[in-house]
Structure 1
Amino acid sequence: MILPTSNCSDGEEAASRTASFELLHEDIQRWVWNQEWDTLRSIQEQAIPTVVEGDSDVILSAPTASGKTEAAFLPILSRITAQRETSHSPSSGFDVVYVSPLKALINDQYERLQHLCDACDIPVHRRHGDVSSSKKRKALDDPDGLLLITPESVEALLLRRPAMFHQALQNVSYIVVDEVHSFIGTPRGKQLQSLLHRMEKAKDEQIPRIALSATIGDPDMTAEFLRPGSGGEVEIIESDDSRQELKLLVKGYENRNDRDEDGDSDDPSGTVVDIAEHIFTHLRGQDNLVFANSRSNVELYTDLLKRLSEERGVPNEFHAHHGSLSKEIREASERTLKTESSPATVVCTTTLELGIDIGWMDSISQVGSPPSVSSLRQRLGRSGRNDAPAILRVYIQEPEIGESTSLQDTLRPELVQTIAMVDLLLENWYEPPNLDALELSTLIQQLLSLIAEYGGIKADTAYHTLCKRGPFANISTTQFTSLLQALGNEELISQAGDGDLIMGLAGEKLTRHYDFYAAFWSPDEYRLVADEKTIGTLPVTSPLMEGRLLIFGGQRWEVESVDEAKQIVFLRQAPGGQVPLFGGEGPILHTRVREKMYSVYTETDIPRYLDSEGIGLLEEGRIHFDRLNLAERTIVPQGNHTVLFLWTGDRIVNTIHVLLTQIGFQVSKTGMTLQIRDCHPEKVFEELQQIAVTEPSESAQLAECVENKIVDKHDRYLTNELLNANYASKLLDVPGALDRISSIVEESHL
């Protein structure tokens, strides 16, 4: 909309009055005028009529920095302001609950929304672990306006202050969920769904839910996540802004000097230094994000870039940002990006992938293949100032091919995976989440929290709240009964004389620990202290001892002493350092990505975005693909062993791995391949034929032969039967595996 200007009675320049603009309260209209906007954004124009009605759930999908926050809150605040004017009574609770996945995002939105809410005299409160107790207490004692909160803090309020929080929810007109895509298909997502349902239960009526996201692969699936069982009734509003121009470069590197002859060098490879050199040369003097996938790589590249700055005698512009760094260090890195007078490049993990307000980046860099297409899209959305194109540089290392190189590595799989993901991004495809996961660990957390919230609850009421009408709809009554028995055996719950489920002694201890509020693991960690200030944490699995050299937060340290009892490590600055181990598992790759990789090998086109070495690596990969005749076969001999090239997603690969292990094969998994040791292709083919015609096992039965099935926080309380079902729902896909095996058998030329 182009809004022609006119003189207002009080002298402001007014935006033209479209139908959407006219629906806004006059205080909000005046705020828009004061911003000197010529237009409302597309997503705002579309959202205002639906959101201001306040009687439906809505998903707002638009690119990063497209005005989604205002698209939600301009109409929300207009409706709330109008309601306050007609009620003639003071507010008796919060009007809006805004739920965010990140504390840093809440802090950003707090400043942004305060400015907007001042226009209509509506207060804004934030609640998370870094907010002072006095401010939290004040907001709950006198609830009013907007509450910005994390899922964990909602959990804490329902658990610790249920009566006060229930009362504070009686006036809520909207619940807003930001970055909704980051929750879907995760334990934290199940927790969020349960919390949304429990907040509505506390008010005893349905509250409109507004979800915001820049990356939605399947809108209908997202709608079902937002309102389980009624996704078809959710309004989906997607921005119709024109697509952004993209400038893209994928640089390939053959790592010819990765390790010394003993294979145990701590020094970074020459290839890593080459990548750092390219980043240093092309990014200095601008604002950029470099996504390095892991915390170890963040520390490695930040250190290399800082050293290059020192060697060249120029100011250091490179900073680190990841979840193990202290809040102060992360916020300092964010401030460097917001400061217009000085350029900065921040090397980061997913911590800067979401919507924290750091302004537009001149470019985005990605070191290594991105974890997913969705993640790549989210990261790319950070780039593109005004009408400038988005710029993405991707750096991919592949090993030098030698006698010991695995068959998979000869195909240059990381480069080809990156090409596949970029092509899928350009096709506007994103990974759908696994909505079949039982997430029994999160169900345990929610059940214990529900018991604590009400002091006790009937078993059928708990099932109705959490499962039948809640987010755990795929849990049967039989499974729920087994879960109750398991928790009773562990003394987490017990049953009172009137039949109510009440907290057991072990449950009391568990729920009183601050760690209980989160649905995910919180590993034991050392606290790192330098100059009497905490600079971050490291998992206790990373060996730290006096004299150990460390790279952390872009600085080099020596371990001065270790207090094992308090798990505190004291550091002092040092000239040398080594990148620590942080732990963590890689992403689960989707079948569509692997199928796209297969297409890349079988086609002859060269992507225009590859540099010359990348082109050479791709051609090498295609040559080895043809040499192995992988277009015609899947079962390939390698010495005394056999390699299966499966070209499918990790859940299916995992399932075939378990099926082959179950019949006695020694199998190891690497990416899309399975290596069967000491076995010839003919024998593997015979067994696959047998599997294809055998009555399939239930996924839970197949999981029985998996050794370590404890994946999530409270899995240790599950019976073996429940543990099998839970593991299978997350990491196995029997129908998909049998389909793939049947295809292999039909297509095999053995």
Structure 2
Amino acid sequence: MVSSAELHPVVLHHIVNTLGWHDLRPLQQAAIEPVLAGADALLLAPTAGGKTEAAAFPLLSRMAADNWQGTSVVYLCPIKALLNNLLPRLEGYASWIGRRAALWHGDVTSARRKQILRDRPDILLTTPESLEAMLVSANVDHRQFFSGVRAVVVDEVHAFAGDDRGWHLLAVLERLTHLLGRPIQRIGLSATVGNPPELLNWLQGSALGSRPGQIVAPDLARPAVSGPVPGAAPDPAQPAAQAVPAGEIQLDYVGSAANAAKVIAVLHRGEKRLVFCDSRQLVEELGHSLRALGVTTFLSHASLSVDERRRSEEAFAQERDCVIVATSTLELGIDVGDLDRVIQINAPATVASFLQRIGRTGRRAGTVRNCLFLTLTEDALLQAAGLLLLWGRGWVEPVVPPPEPRHIVAQQILALCLQEHRVGDRLWPEWWNGLAPFGRGAEPIVRHLVAHGYLDSDSGMLFIGPEAERRFGFRHFMEMTSVFTADPEFNVLWGRKEVGRVDPALLSGEVEGPRLLLLAGRTWRVTYIDWRRRRCFVEPSDGRGRARWNSSGGASGLSFALTRAMRSVLLGDDPPGGLTQRAKDRLAVLREDAVDIVHPGGTVITRDPEGDMRWWTWGGFCTNATLAATLTGIADEGQRVDEEYLRLRDDVTPEKWKAAIAGAVLSLPEIDDKALAGLKFGVALPRRLAIATLASRLASPEEAAAVLAEPSRWTMR
């Protein structure tokens, strides 16, 4: 029976009588003491491990016992769909003690927002961007609205910490803390990560060292490892091999999306299957093929309308024999009902992502977690095998914030001036409570903002300038609260119903006959394009349309760890789980073809009869970008960086090679103007600082140094 005397009696009563629980899960029991004590905490458990309740039950107990008033808990999620999914649960839990929860994000109507402002909920579910939008909005009295905040819960905290949204989140929390003039308890929820202590330290922000913090992870049978990696240079500190994690894994090679659809159509009939793809285009193509084969299929990705995604997810949750094809939008714990199978097309780029996906299965008693990999290309087969090799050895990527977030510093200073209307030109660092990099070291950025009109300065005060109004002022500065640049897309409308959004290139290229689009797994004929308002009108059509979206963002490519694991597979290491005969046969061919480009003793340099020279580092994208910038005297100029090799000049000899390596001084990768354009708020930085920011994020100096230190073997192909 539940015996948690520390919880409020009313909360405890409802756990037993309303939920019908006879006991709490280990994480939920272990979280009670630190959360009730007001400590910052990182709660770790596998997907569906009860993390939300582990935070909610003790917070509601404190709310009732200490009579918290107003909005006292802010619950942050990385995506709106997860907030929508969580709202009914948190509404129910809050009602136990006569309290309320409410949702605030971009899809919430203005009428509902006005109601929330009139009658503040006890728990506010929102995103960091919407939280900042409330701070800067002229319609929200942020001092009054947030005056009662005592705790912040950050769900899927690892999804924030590894990119610029994490810096933005931390900066907004520091501003909220300064606004209140007192600490706010911070509770992070996450699945398995490779470096829990560092993640907790990151979450505490400026309070690190001044407030207690605790990692709570009783559900994890064994700690994750974040290094060394399989295939790296020998390391005497490398941990001993661990038992393969539990789960039914199978790796197959099918060769095409059409073949993948045929396999899915005949496999696991009568079961509910979630299929992950790592591009919206592949989601559309696979969904269309499955429907053509008579499979009940639903789709979910970011370029579908909110209503379209919601209909798909709700219908999928209610069906039994069906498939939903999705991008990572369904990776982060959104409830899609009782799931039987996870199928992965090709492979995700990280072990952490794979853990999130396989964690969607095995939730019913008597079932186990499972994942079927259907790879479409040889490269994807090798990547999936390398990923499973890392997973089998208990390795998970460390969550590392991107370095040098100078553009976020610029954004935050502008947002602060928008929030407060005017800020003292010597007092602005106080708003971030000493958190680097938002302190005095950012003064060159402030001077640049003033010099170029983003800020005005008068009588010792800073306020929004004309250039910030011009660049970011439209839609009431809505663009100011988002740290990513999104590619422009056209809204697709069927009558008054929005279907989703498409890349404008699909609407501008020449076509023979009608212009057909593939969206929501269906084919549409374009009937009219409104270029000024960026929308097009469609009607259903036969045939097969085209799907396309540009990918935007920072550096792409595989990591050092994953690329080295792929090398280990080519050298003979077999991944855990079952391999179909097709996968075994194709992997044997890959190993035979790679005999000249991998060697257990170090790297390999090859030269073919045409003089093409390649240095097979197997170092990953960032490592090879760093090596290309470092070895300019022998590296081929202007080459496209590859994860596996670096192209060398055709006149390089072993002697020139040795001289270049001996004198190598590691350099930062070069940055082009296209990359700079993708750095939102980079325009508000001095160009040299914007370049330095991106270069530091592309660099991988430790791995590059390790590769340079390895022996190299020369061979003719």
1:348 partner letter:
A
1:521 Cα shift? 1.1
Contact 1:365–1:393 (8 Å) recurs in 2: yes
Change in CA separation of 1:241 and 1:731 when aligned onto 2, cut-off 3 Å? closer
Q: Aligned equivalents of 1:112 and 1:437: distance in 2?
A: 37
* Equivalent-residue separation in structure 1 for 2:258 and 2:307 (angstroms): 29
Q: State the match for 1:222 in structure 2.
A: 199
Question: For 1:286 and 1:121, how far apart are their aligned partners in 2?
Answer: 40
Report the AA paired with residue 192 of structure 1: L
Matches within 5 A, 1:345-744: 345-387=323-365, 388-398=367-377, 412-466=378-432, 469-470=434-435, 472=437, 477=441, 480-496=442-458, 498-509=459-470, 510-511=472-473, 512-544=476-508, 547-584=514-551, 587-603=556-572, 605=574, 607-628=576-597, 630-631=599-600, 633-638=603-608, 639-661=610-632, 665-669=636-640, 671-676=642-647, 679-682=650-653, 686-687=656-657, 689-697=659-667, 699=668, 703=670, 708-744=675-711
SS in 2 for 1:483: helix
Contact map agreement 1:641 1:680 (CA 8 A) in 2 = no
Q: Which residue is 1:7 aligned to?
A: none
Determine the structure 2 residue equivalent to 1:327.
306
For 1:221-240, what aligned pairs fall within 5 Å after superposition? Answer: 221-228=198-205, 231=208, 233-240=212-219
Decide whether aligned partners of structure 1 residues 301 and 52 sit closer, same or farther in structure 2, where only a CA change above 3 A counts.
same
1:579-627 CA distance string (max 9 Å, x none): 3210115844221212222222223547551111111122122212224
| Structure 1 unaligned residues grouped into runs of 5+ | 4-14, 256-270, 310-315, 399-411
Cα RMSD over matched residues? 2.5
Paired AA for residue 486 in structure 1: H
State the Cα distance separating 1:246 from its structure 2 match. Answer: 0.9
Matched ranges for 1:21-170 at <5 A:
21-33=4-16, 34-54=18-38, 56-84=39-67, 91=69, 93-161=70-138, 164-170=141-147
Please state whether the residue corresponding to 2:337 is helix, strand or coil.
coil
Q: Give the SS at the match of 1:469.
A: coil
CA deviation digits over 1:399-432, x for unaligned, max 9?
Answer: xxxxxxxxxxxxx443222112112223332212
Hey, what's the Cα distance between the residues in 2 that align with 1:242 and 1:228?
29
AA aligned opposite 2:689: L
1:103–1:182 CA distance, 2 compared to 1 (3 A)? same
1:70-112 per-position Cα deviation (integer Å, ceiling 9, x unaligned): 111011001101112xx8xxx3x21101111111111111111
Letter in 2 for 1:306: R
Q: Using the alignment, how far apart are the partners of 2:480 and 2:582 within structure 1?
A: 50
- Higher relative contact order at CA 8 Å, sep ≥6: structure 1 or structure 2? 2
Larger displacement relative to structure 2 (424-433 or 344-353): 424-433
Q: What is the Cα deviation at residue 472 of structure 1?
A: 2.4
The 5 A counterparts of 1:135-284 are: 135-161=112-138, 164-228=141-205, 231=208, 233-240=212-219, 245-253=246-254, 255=255, 271-284=256-269
Structure 1 stretch displaced more, 274-283 or 712-721: 712-721
Structure 2: state its 5+ residue gaps. 223-244
Indicate how the Cα distance of structure 1 residues 722 and 590 shifts in structure 2: closer, same or farther if over 3 A, else same: same
SS at match of 2:20: coil
Other-structure match for 2:225: none
Q: Contact 1:637/1:680 (CA < 8 Å) preserved in 2?
A: no
List per-residue Cα deviations over 1:183-203 (Å, max 9, x = no partner): 012111111011111111111
Alpha-carbon separation, structure 1, partners of 2:696 and 2:464: 28
- Paired residues in the alignment total 680
Identity of matched residues, %: 26
Alpha-carbon distance change, 144 to 675 in structure 1, aligned in 2, over 3 angstroms: closer
User: Compared with structure 1, are the counterparts of its residues 707 and 539 closer, same or farther at alpha carbon in structure 2 (3 Å cutoff)?
Assistant: closer
Contact kept, 8 Å, 1:126 with 1:148, in 2: the verdict is yes
Deviations 1:310-340 (A, max 9, x none): xxxxxx411110000001110011112321x
1:290 and 2:275 are equivalent in the alignment: yes
Structure-1 separation of matches of 2:670 and 2:453: 27
Structure 1 pair 305/456, CA: closer, same or farther in 2 (3 Å)?
Answer: same
Instruction: Give the whole-Å Cα distance in 2 for the aligned partners of 1:162 and 1:225.
Output: 32
Q: Separation in 2 of the partners of 1:566 and 1:169?
A: 37
C-alpha distance in structure 1 between counterparts of 2:293 and 2:269, whole Å: 11
Q: 1:231 to 1:318 in 2, by over 3 A?
A: farther
Question: Equivalents in 2 of 1:428, 1:587: separation in Å?
Answer: 24
Question: Within 2, Cα distance between the matches of 1:70 and 1:554?
Answer: 36
The Cα of 1:485 is off from its aligned counterpart by: 2.9
What's the secondary structure of 1:600's corresponding residue? Answer: helix
Query: How many Å separate the matches in 1 of 2:703 and 2:596?
Result: 28
Amino acid at match of 1:433: V
Aligned letter for 1:304?
S
Q: Is the 8 A contact 2:351 2:395 kept in 1?
A: yes
CA contact (8 A) 1:140 1:165 kept: no
What TM-score do you get using the length of structure 1 for normalisation? 0.86
Deviation for aligned residue 1:560? 1.0
Cα deviations by residue, 1:134-157 (Å, 9 ceiling, x for unpaired): 221221233241111111111111
Query: How many Å separate the matches in 1 of 2:139 and 2:193?
Result: 34
Deviations 1:511-556 (A, max 9, x none): 4332222111122211100132111112334444682111110111
Pair 1:303-2:265 in alignment: no
Contact 1:658/1:706 (<8 A) preserved: no
SS at match of 2:624: helix
Q: Secondary structure at the match of 2:57?
A: helix
CA pair 441-540 structure 1, distance change in 2 beyond 3 A: farther
Specify the code of the residue in structure 2 equivalent to 1:472. Answer: P
Amino acid at match of 2:595: D
Q: Distance in 2 between matches of 1:483 and 1:162?
A: 29
In the superposition, the TM-score normalised over structure 2's length comes to 0.89
Evaluate the alpha carbon distance shift between residue 525 and residue 251 of structure 1 in structure 2; reply closer, same or farther with a 3 A threshold: same
Whether contact under 8 Å (1:662, 1:705) holds in the other structure is: no
Find the aligned partners of 1:67 and 1:528 in 2 and give their Cα distance: 39
Letter in 1 for 2:23: T
Query: Contact conserved, 2:136 with 2:418, CA < 8 A, in 1?
Result: yes
Distance across 2 between alignment mates of 1:382 and 1:181: 17
Partner of 2:228: none
